[in-house]
Structure 1
Amino acid sequence: MDLRIEGLGVVIDGKSLVEELSLDVGGGEVVGLVGPNGSGKSTALRCVYRALRPARGTVRVGGDDITGLPMRRSAQLVAAMTQDGAVDLDFTVEEVVALGRAPHQRGNQALSARERELCVRAMERLDIRHLAKRGVLTLSGGERQRVLLARALVQEPGVLVLDEPTNHLDVRHQIEVLSHLRGAGLTVLVVLHDLNLAAAACDRIGVLSQGRLVASGTPEDVLTEQLMADVFGVKATVVPHPLTGDPQLLYALHPAL
């Protein structure tokens, strides 16, 4: 299922946060959004999962304008894992994961055998099945992050939107989560701050600066030394990863060197 962002504009309190953003994510493609803090990345994602209504432009999922769909239907099509996806009530891990089925159910309908198996598989993939009976408020930040991602996957969306999914995760789980996203066959739009992880995980990358898309393409085309200087204000050397060939950025802590 493809995702198309067409001419998106967001204005809040008279300030333009996103301007004329157009970006396509093909079916099964992983596309990353990167950029400095305050560049509009999270704001753009909120329009995709309908937490925010844009002032201009359209978000289309499978050809349908997302704002024209019933909320239940859009929740079936788009799952989101957000930076502020806190769980304030002490549900168990398995209860939180099962909430991903809510858009597909009515009332207090019990999970089917297939849905229970879906929850179990998601917990196994994200290495949290052993936490199933634990209260989610007792978990570490990284464990809770994996619970929220399992909940999103259980939703069985056509499009998965992720805002900093590797936040709080150790290196092993960062790699496992991003590897899973690449192999899941979903259409994924993901915000990442770690540009080396973005280069390894994403088919294409869009770079936002001051609310505008300033570059878009493969990691090799986008992550250049000039862009790092122009957009991020840092000196970096780009080298190929010795095993995968993906571009990797080496930063200089002292730009004058």
Structure 2
Amino acid sequence: MELILDGLSVVTDGRSLLRDLSLEVGGGQVVGLVGPNGSGKSTALRCVYRALRPSSGTVRVGGDDLSRLPVRRSAQLVAAMTQESAVDLDFTVEEVVALGRTPHLRGNQALGRRERELCARTMGLLGIGHLARRSVLTLSGGERQRVLLARALVQEPQILVLDEPTNHLDVRHQIELLSMLRGCGPTVLVVLHDLNLAAAACDRLGVLSDGRLVAAGPPAEVLTPELVGQVFGVTTCVVAHPLTGDPQLLYSLPSGLKGTS
């Protein structure tokens, strides 16, 4: 299902957090948002999962204005894994994952056989099946991160929104998670800080700076030394990955930092 951000602007307390952002995410695509801290990436995601109402502009899912849909319907269409996601109650992993089915159930309706199988299959896919009966309070940060992603996936959304999903994950699990995004089904809009991971995992990138979209397109077209220098203020050399051909950035430390301890 296609996701369209059409002229989104967010102004709060006299500050412009997002300025006329327009971006299309084709059905089944993985599109990454990258940019410096404070550039508006998380603000854009909050508009998509309806945690924040844009000052102007529209979020469209499959042609429908998301703000005009009932909350229950939008929760069936859009699932989010955010930086603020937290589980502070003594729930088991399987109980937390099962919460992803809430938009599809009515009242205190119990999970059916299909829902239970979906939860078990998703936990297995993310390598947390063996943790099903563990309290989430006993898990590491990386394990909790995978539990929260499983909760989002069992929601069976058409649109999956992820804000820095690789936080707390080791290299292996970062790669496994991002590889899985391509085949997980939903259209994906993801915020990533690691530009090399973003280049490898995403079909297209949108680069934000000071609340504005300054570039959008395939990673090889967007991640140029000139743009990275302009937006991030760092010197880079861009090379092709020897196995995949994806652009990879090699960073140069300022000479004054070399050899310091």
Q: TM-score range by the shorter chain?
A: over 0.9
Aligned length: 257
Q: C-alpha distance in 2, partners of 1:202/1:17?
A: 24
TM-score normalised over the length of structure 2:
0.97
Aligned partners of 1:182 and 1:201 also within 8 Å: yes
Report how far residue 137 of structure 1 moved.
1.0
Aligned partners of 1:31 and 1:202 also within 8 Å: yes
Report how far residue 255 of structure 1 moved.
5.9
1:126-168: per-residue Cα shift (whole Å, max 9, x none)?
A: 1000100010011100000000000000000000000000000
Aligned partners of 1:234 and 1:255 also within 8 Å: no
Determine the structure 2 residue equivalent to 1:3. 3
Q: C-alpha distance in 2, partners of 1:147/1:206?
A: 27
Determine the structure 1 residue equivalent to 2:60. 60
Q: C-alpha distance in 2, partners of 1:90/1:233?
A: 44
Determine the structure 2 residue equivalent to 1:114. 114
Alignment map for 1:23-34 (pairs within 5 Å): 23-34=23-34
- Cα RMSD (Å) of the superposition? 1.0
Aligned partners of 1:235 and 1:255 also within 8 Å: no
1:35-71: per-residue Cα shift (whole Å, max 9, x none)?
A: 0000000001000000000000000001110100110
Q: Which amino acid aligns with 2:186?
A: L
Q: Which amino acid aligns with 1:102?
A: T
Determine the structure 2 residue equivalent to 1:167. 167
Alignment map for 1:93-242 (pairs within 5 Å): 93-242=93-242
What secondary structure, in the 3-state scheme, does the structure 1 residue paired with 2:182 have? helix
Identity %: 77
What secondary structure, in the 3-state scheme, does the structure 1 residue paired with 2:193 have? coil
Q: C-alpha distance in 2, partners of 1:175/1:3?
A: 25
Q: C-alpha distance in 2, partners of 1:255/1:51?
A: 43
Determine the structure 2 residue equivalent to 1:254. 254
TM-score normalised over the length of structure 1:
0.99
Q: C-alpha distance in 2, partners of 1:176/1:229?
A: 29
Report how far residue 185 of structure 1 moved.
2.4
What secondary structure, in the 3-state scheme, does the structure 2 residue paired with 1:5 have? strand
Unaligned ranges ≥5, structure 2: none
Runs of 4+ in 1 over 4 A off after TM superposition: none
Q: C-alpha distance in 1, partners of 2:115/2:185?
A: 19
